[in-house]
Amino acid sequence: MEPVLKPLPPEILPSTRPGVILWFKIYCWVLCFLYLLVSAASLMFFLGDPEELELPRSGAIAMGVVFLLMGLGLFVLSALPLIVRPKPWVWTFDLIVICIGMTSACFVPLCIPLLIFWLKPETKAWFGRG
């Protein structure tokens, strides 16, 4: 048996953008900045003296590659919500970005309220999720 989808009641349909969207975008900008810093930290491994780092030259290059790829990859994931339009799949993607932030103890106090407001019906409706 197929589930019946009910339309949203008129009082839940968004007439204006929910406030959590602004806070989420600020959160994404902060993540973008931090991940660019991680990418920039790769220069320390590429250009630094391996003896100061107490690593062999190949180990320093490997660490630099890891920092560069992780920083740029996570930068792209954090920047994507800033440029895509609201769609149902974007709400899920943004939820994943919030959950990635929860892996850091520094971001948990920011991510928990963000997550609470993200799960509200008004925010889901903004993205077209019923």
8 within some domain: no
1 within some domain: no
Question: Which range (7-11, 19-23, 51-55, 76-80) has the least confidence?
Answer: 7-11
Each residue of 84-94: pLDDT tens digit?
999 999 999 99
Question: pLDDT at residue 14 above 60?
Answer: no
Is residue 40 very low, low, confident or very high in pLDDT (cuts 50, 70, 90)? Answer: very high
Report the number of distinct structural domains present in the chain: 1
96 within some domain: yes
Question: pLDDT at residue 106 above 80?
Answer: yes
Domain that holds residue 61: 19-126
Q: How far is CA 54 from CA 41, 43, 57, 60, in A?
A: 16, 16, 9, 9
Do the Cβ atoms of 60 and 7 come closer than 8 Å? no
61 within some domain: yes
Report pLDDT for 46.
87
98 within some domain: yes
